[in-house]
Structures are given as structure tokens and as C-alpha cells.
Amino acid sequence: MHSFIRSNTHVALRLPSGLFKIIEITPNTSINLGKFGTVNSNLILGRPYYLTYELLDKDDGRAKTELRVVPASELHAEALGSEHAPVAETGEETADGEAGFDIVGEDGKVIMRNNRLTVDDASRQKLTMDEIEELKKAGTGSGKDIIARIMASHDAIDEKTSFSLAKYTLRKSRKYLKRFTAIPMDVGVLTGYVLEKEAYKIMELREDLLGLICSWANVHCGATTRVQTAEDGASQIGGGRWLVVDDTGGLVTAALAERMGILYPDDDDEESEEELAEAVEADQQQNGHTDAPQEPKPNESDTAMPDADAATVDPTKASDPTADSSHLLSLPRKSPRPHIPQMSAKTNTLTVLHPNNQPNLSYLKYFGYDYGAPVPSHPLYKHLKSLSWLSLLHPEDDPQYDEPELISDEVLATMKSSKRGTYYRKRRRWERVKTVVDETRAGGFDGLVVATAMDAKTVLKELVPLIRGGGKIVVYNPNVEPLVELCDYYSKERRAAYIAREFGPPPQTPRQMNGKKHKYDDDAETNDSTTEGGFEEDDFPLNPTLLLAPSLQTARARQWQVLPQRTHPMMTSKGGAEGYLFTATRVLPIEGRVEARGHHGKKKRKVGPEIAAQP
């Protein structure tokens, strides 16, 4: 998917300063690179990613701005050069008797210069601010000239140690080199970009933690996973379906989707060569419509509309029991274009729970998915489902869950087309909402990923029962305290107390029970076990027996500089939230009192019965 730069996709351009500029690239437009000038998008379209370009403009004798690919050897010249001649600098000015501040070899060669005589004074740079500004205005080439001039006019450039000289050059390059690198827009780049600008919007979630989340949630592609149902025959178990609570604007969702193979529009990389060839011979004019990802667009925008002109669209779908196709066949007029039901995939899906009417998944736009106006060809169209907390917990209170009145075909035929359109749109929305809500309430998800500012215990109380046995639970929080509290609700002492209270007498016939049923009961009818002790809610806000091995962890990647003889960790990096992960496995406890076995120290505890004292 990232074999070359396609039009109408987002591209991250990294400037010499290390900052990213994210643009949506369209043909025949100019890209503004700030102080470095502008570039026509056609100069980078169709080219591979990760190339570094240098801007060549009129000052280099070009009529228009052009780009030169900077070869890797040139990018690494500095680092490689200093390596192959690591210490071979002969300081003439220091050779005479001024030993003592340099480390000199036996043959008088300076092995290592030190910085004892370095003068920290801005006045050593002869060029004034104004002169540099003038140089910049004069626009001498790719910036290399400016750097050369600056270096040349530094009073004591030879006094610098080779390392500090390298640093100096690097600093100047960052400022003046007119280069940029085109980087594909992926979750890692997006994370870095947002962290730099508005970290709070993604709960300061770093890439290292995203990796951990994906691993512990056991997220993977489930496109070919079997569709299997529970004993009741209706609710699905597994199937590569994950539940998500995402307050990071869609970043977590994007990371999970990337692992499931549903984040990027389905472009065939192998077509690229062919496409290029075709394009060369054939087309000139509609260049926007020539490349592979472009082609579906015209059709898509039509089919995305059916909500508007629904008369032409067939709302039947295989999975929908209520849809009645017969009345649609009677519709004459235009040839029916089938409707692609949104959120209709049965496997490999993400179900996002959101606190507002609409989920906030705005970062998905960088991957070509606009939640407000989704394109049916995007995999997320069918594989990303969403529902609000209201629909999950009290669907009866959600108007969208109410079935719109069914109108008979005869009546329908007499209606105006716009009205008929509205009717179908409503029906279809209801079908979608009903399918998603019913599926979600039936549970059996493979895992739960939570990154929310909400109180995690209230989230887990509702969602843990919806996870299948052996499913994974992952809760991210930028701060440790909420998760420490969460761990405490699942502590072994509390679990022991919970079991003791729930199933006081020793077991007669332990029977298998899924905590899910338990939870549902208290929604439907007042369950005795939850209402008996009034202190239940406070002491046991969660059923501690439903999760196994709750753990708390964190990880941080520490970046290093690797240069010949100058390898060390970076001097500074970003602070802020450390970021923590709570992980656990959903299990199906045996109802009843279970005696643990094993050695728990010599003394038998007096209180806190020895139940479930394992992990």
C-alpha cells in the first residue's frame, strides 16, 4: 500500500528541522514548504516513499522549482566520512608546544582535541544576523552555500573539536538545508505528529505503548476466522471481533485496524508498474482519474449517496432478517444499484462505543476514512461498527433503535420519490443500528481495548461480560492511579472476599456459569445477589472473578544517537504522561466456592478464606 505516492492520499513531509508537515496530495497543486518555498505536487506523485529531495529553484539556474533526489550516500556522508577517518586530523596550530589541551600521539599527531580553549562567544561568528538574512534572501542554492559561508566566517572553526564541528554543521543544516523527505502516513507517523502538537488529544499515547496494546489485546487479522456461535445458537463467539472504547480521536482504532488489515484502502501494489506504463502511453487529460485508487472514486461517490436517492437502491442484505426484497423488485425505473450495507461484516471487525451521538474518530481521515461520509470501498466501511453507550445499555431509549413503520409496496409506489428515499434511508439506518446493537449485546468479543478518560471501572463493569472466555482486556491510561485502583478491584484479597460473600457455604455441586448471564440478569430483573448487601456497589463494583492475571505495566523506548565514537542516549526527550497498561484475560469462573491448593506460606490465614488465593 505504500509502494509509491498516490494522489488523494495523505503524505507526511519531514523537513530538515525534523518536524512533519502532513498534506493531502492532489495533482497539479503546489505544496507550501514554508521558508523553503513551494513544490508542485506532480514532482513527487508516483515516486516512492522515503526518498529525500532537495529543492532546486531559479537560483540554481532552473526556470521552475525542481527536485533532486538526495542519495543515501550523501545523506550519510557526514557520519560515514568521519568514521573512515575517525581521528586523523592534524592540527597544525596546536602542534607547537601547546600540548596539554590535546591528546597527542607519540608521533605528535593530535589524537583527540579537547574543548579547553573553546571560547563561548557569539562574536566569533563574523557574519551578522542581517548578513545571513541577506544571504537567505539572495537564495543561494539549496542552502549548502549559506552553510558554507557561515562556516567559513566562523572565527575559530579550527578550534572546534571534530565532534563539536559536526554538531555545528548539523545544526546549521537543519536550519538552512532545503530538503524534505516524503514519508507514508501510517499510525506511527501520525502518533509522532500528534504528540508533538496536541498530545492531550490522543491521551499522550506513544508508539511504544500502542505496540504493547496491540500485542496484549491479541489483535490480528480475522478475515478468514470461522463464524461460530455460542450454545444458544444466536450469539457469536470470537470471529476476530474487538470492542473498543476510544477517546484518542480514533488513534487507537486506527492502530488496531492496521493490525487487522482494514486501515488502508485496498490498493494493489503490484498494479503500480502496470499503471505507470498505461498512464504514460494513454492518458493526459483527466490525470486525477488515471491511477488505481482514483478509479473507484466516481462510482463510490454515487453509491455513497443512496441515502439521498434511495429509490434506486436495494436495501436487502444477506444478514438482515427483516428486509423484504420482494417489494423492491417491483420498483421499476433505473437499474438497481445494490446498497452496500455499512457495518455489515461478520468477522474481523472493530466495534467502537462512544459517549456522544457520534464517535470521534477524526484521525481516521488521514487514512482515507471520513466517519461522516464514509466511502464504501474503504474496508472500514463494513468492518468498523459503532454504537453509543445509550444504545448498548438501554436500546429501548434510543430512538434509532425503534423500528420505523413498515409501508406496503402499494402505498410506497404512490409516494414521491423523495419521500420514498427518506423511508428507505430510515429503514436502513434502523436495520444497521439494530444489527450492531443486537450483535454487541450478545457479546462473545475476542477482546476489549479501552483508552478513555471515563472511570474505567464503570466501563469494565458493562463490557467485560461481553468478552468471550479467554479474550483479552487492555486498558490504557496516561496516569497510573486509575489503573492501580482498577487492579485493586481485582486483587486476590477482594476476590476471596467476593467469593466468600457470594457463595458462603462450601460447594456442593459447582456448576459452570458465565458471568455474563449474571450481569444481564441484574439489568432485566432485580437480581437478588446484587441487591442484597447495600454495600455491594462500593466494595465490589466489578466482579473480580471474571478476570485472570490482572497486571499493570509500562514501557518506554529510549532513543540513542549512534555516531562513530559518539554513541549515547539522546540528551533530551519528551516527558509528560508515562502511560500505563492494565491487561487481563477474561475467564469463566465456576460458580461456587473453589478451594485453592498450593503453598501460601506456613501460616494458615485466619481470615480471608483460602479461596481463589491463586494468581
Partner 1 sequence: MAFTPSPFLDPGTHASANNLGILQLRRDQLIPAILSPHAESDYAEGKVENTRFGSFPHSTLVGQPWGTQILASVVDTGSRGKSKKRKRDGNDEGEDAQKPDAKEAKRDLVKAATASSGFAHLVPPTPETWTLSLPHRTQVVYTPDYSYILQRLRVRPGDHMIEAGAGSGSFTHASVRAVYKGYPGQEDTFNGTDDTPEEAVGVTKKRKRSQRHGAVYSFEYHEPRARQLQVEIKAHGLDPLVTITHRDVYADGFCLDDSTGPDADAIFLDLPAPWQALPHLTRSPLTSAALQSVSTDPSTPNPAATSDPTPSQPFRSPLNPLKPIRICTFSPCIEQVTKTVSTLRTLGWVEIDMVEIAAKRLDVRRERVGLSEEGVRGGNASAATVQEAVQRLRDVEGRAAVFHSLQKEKQEEVMKRAEARKRGENVGEIGNGKKKDKVDGVPPGKQDRLEKVKKELESRTLYKEGRLVHRTEPELKTHTSYLVFAVLPREWTGEDEEKARKKWGKK
Under the criterion CB under 8 A, does residue 586 sit at the interface with partner 1? yes
H helices of 409-544, where? 409-414, 417-442, 456-463, 481-489, 492-502, 515-524, 528-531, 536-539
Of the candidates 183, 175, 182, 181, the one whose C-alpha atom is nearest the C-alpha of residue 142 is: 175
Of the candidates 184, 167, 160, the one whose C-alpha atom is nearest the C-alpha of residue 12 is: 184
Site string for partner 1, 288-327 (x = CB under 8 A): --x----xx--xx--x--------------xx--------
Which of the residues 329 through 348 are near partner 1 (CB under 8 A)? 337-338, 340-341, 344-348
147, 260, 390, 473: which one binds partner 1 (CB under 8 A): 260
- Kindly list the distances between the CA atom of residue 252 and the CA atoms of 446, 449, 474, 583, in Å, as whole numbers in the listed order: 16, 8, 12, 16
- Kindly list the distances between the CA atom of residue 400 and the CA atoms of 395, 396, 426, 428, in Å, as whole numbers in the listed order: 9, 9, 9, 11
Which of the residues 228 through 247 are near partner 1 (CB under 8 A)? 228, 230, 237-238, 240
Under the criterion CB under 8 A, does residue 564 sit at the interface with partner 1? yes
Q: How far is the CB of 370 from partner 1 (least distance, A)?
A: 18
Q: How far is the CB of 135 from partner 1 (least distance, A)?
A: 29
336 vs 341: CA distance, rounded Å: 15
Task: Decide whether 34 or 510 has the Cβ nearer to partner 1.
Answer: 510
Q: How far is the CB of 435 from partner 1 (least distance, A)?
A: 13
373 vs 387: CA distance, rounded Å: 17
239 vs 445: CA distance, rounded Å: 8
Q: How far is the CB of 79 from partner 1 (least distance, A)?
A: 6
Cα 50 to the chain's mean position, in Å? 20
59, 269, 324, 402: which one binds partner 1 (CB under 8 A): 269
Contacts of 569 (CB under 8 A, 6+ apart): 558, 559, 560, 561
Q: Taking a C-beta distance cutoff of 8 angstroms, is the pair 446, 238 a contact?
A: yes
Under the criterion CB under 8 A, does residue 248 sit at the interface with partner 1? no
Reduced to 3 states (helix: H, G, I; strand: E, B; else coil), residue 503 is coil
Task: Decide whether 19 or 276 has the Cβ nearer to partner 1.
Answer: 276
Q: How far is the CB of 407 from partner 1 (least distance, A)?
A: 25
Which of the residues 7 through 36 are near partner 1 (CB under 8 A)? 27-28
User: Dihedral through CA 185, CA 191, CA 193, CA 195, nearest 10?
Assistant: 170
Binding-site size for partner 1 (CB under 8 A) equals: 144
Question: Strands 384-388 and 349-354, how do they pair?
Answer: parallel
8, 10, 43, 327: which one binds partner 1 (CB under 8 A): 43
Site string for partner 1, 588-607 (x = CB under 8 A): xxx---xxxxxx-x-x-xxx
Task: Decide whether 427 or 472 has the Cβ nearer to partner 1.
Answer: 472
24, 131, 145, 207: which one binds partner 1 (CB under 8 A): 207
45, 203, 254, 451: which one binds partner 1 (CB under 8 A): 45
Q: Taking a C-beta distance cutoff of 8 angstroms, is the pair 213, 474 a contact?
A: yes
Task: Decide whether 162 or 347 has the Cβ nearer to partner 1.
Answer: 347
10, 24, 37, 46: which one binds partner 1 (CB under 8 A): 46
Nine cell digits for residue 399: 430512538
Task: Decide whether 27 or 139 has the Cβ nearer to partner 1.
Answer: 27
420 vs 267: CA distance, rounded Å: 36
Which of the residues 495 through 534 are near partner 1 (CB under 8 A)? 496-497, 510, 512
Under the criterion CB under 8 A, does residue 222 sit at the interface with partner 1? yes
Place of cell 565532534: 163
- Kindly list the distances between the CA atom of residue 110 and the CA atoms of 82, 85, 91, 106, 603, in Å, as whole numbers in the listed order: 15, 13, 6, 9, 71
197, 484, 517, 522: which one binds partner 1 (CB under 8 A): 484
119, 120, 121, 284: which one binds partner 1 (CB under 8 A): 284
Site string for partner 1, 58-97 (x = CB under 8 A): ------x----x-xxx-xx--xx--x--------------
Tell me which amino acid residue 121 is. Answer: D
Under the criterion CB under 8 A, does residue 404 sit at the interface with partner 1? no
Give the orientation angle of helix 207-216 with respect to helix 251-260, to 10 degrees.
50
Which of the residues 436 through 475 are near partner 1 (CB under 8 A)? 468-472
Task: Decide whether 91 or 188 has the Cβ nearer to partner 1.
Answer: 188
Which of the residues 365 through 384 are near partner 1 (CB under 8 A)? 376-377, 382
Task: Decide whether 357 or 512 has the Cβ nearer to partner 1.
Answer: 512
Of the candidates 186, 243, 214, the one whose C-alpha atom is nearest the C-alpha of residue 581 is: 214
Report the 10 Å Cβ neighbour count for 174: 13
